[in-house]
Structure 1
């Protein structure tokens, strides 16, 4: 079903009113006459990117012939530009995965893709980002800062933790992260280039072994790296706590209790912070131990 409302009987009525045959409409849209017949009979629906050409062929405004409810999401912007997922992917020089993942609310677009897609869709970058928020189900009017605190992809989570979790000290380098992941995995699971690719959005996939190693390397609960969906409320609360604590004290936050008080905090403040971080971490879902699952 296309993102806009499609009524085949209405298309047939408008077409007949224009004295246009099914074969003629099909030629204008780039499909076969039987395909148009199926659309009009309700046996099938056109792809969303075909709707603009159908409306143009029938001399009708797109919004009037095929209305839609609510603000536009990414899929609607793409379809209204008359582009398929494959064509949009070609514009940004990738596979279909980044486009389809963003449209389905699984993984946000890399920053490098925003401008070329906005230009291709005929909208501003701000409008594209607002449409992306709609694809991810964010309520209208939510602030950009509020929405930005929910990293989804592996790379976004790595960047978030490096930015907010090591205030006042040097965060681990890409090489150090790769080494820590490999030590945890007990094998050469990633390279420095792999970590760079994840952080820059050039790569989006990571094995379960790598995800577990990243959690260990960055000293967070493994649940944060379990999937690429928006983090759940408990995990988001932990990330928010990390960011908030980093903003009120320019010292080490991640693993604060384990690594000791090098930032000069009072014992009372240390206790409060450790209690808060521990409390939030315990809210995260349990992650099964693969060795236990395998009976080792």
Structure 2
């Protein structure tokens, strides 16, 4: 399943100097659809994704990467730091790094955090969102397993 990269679409839109309203007109969708897909609140319909890509002058592949996005934890691992080392770099406690990397809590200065991870603020937010999405998928999967188990138990009663 390919996933629309709203953060990438936003970065391309901003780089091109295109306003949300103008992109919406060019793609034939509402501005709220653009905002919602860029923020990651929903995955746009394939027709919308194609229209946005065309309006931005890019291929759909550029907005739907094949590999899953890296999380902050993945990126921290790639730069060879432990949570404790990252916490020292940021001047926070290790638990804060853990919570941010899992998407449990936000931060007051995303730009400083992005810099500590060697990312742009947009890349940092995408990696943070990837962690949140991962947690959501795990919770949904566990909830489905619990529902299936409950149905199985009810069948024997």
Category of TM-score, reference length = shorter chain: 0.3 to 0.5
Q: TM-score, normalised by structure 2?
A: 0.42
Q: TM-score, normalised by structure 1?
A: 0.24
**Which protein has the bigger helix share?**
2
Larger Rg: 1
Taking CA–CA contacts closer than 8 Å with sequence separation of 6 or more, which of the two structures ends up with the larger relative contact order? Answer: 2
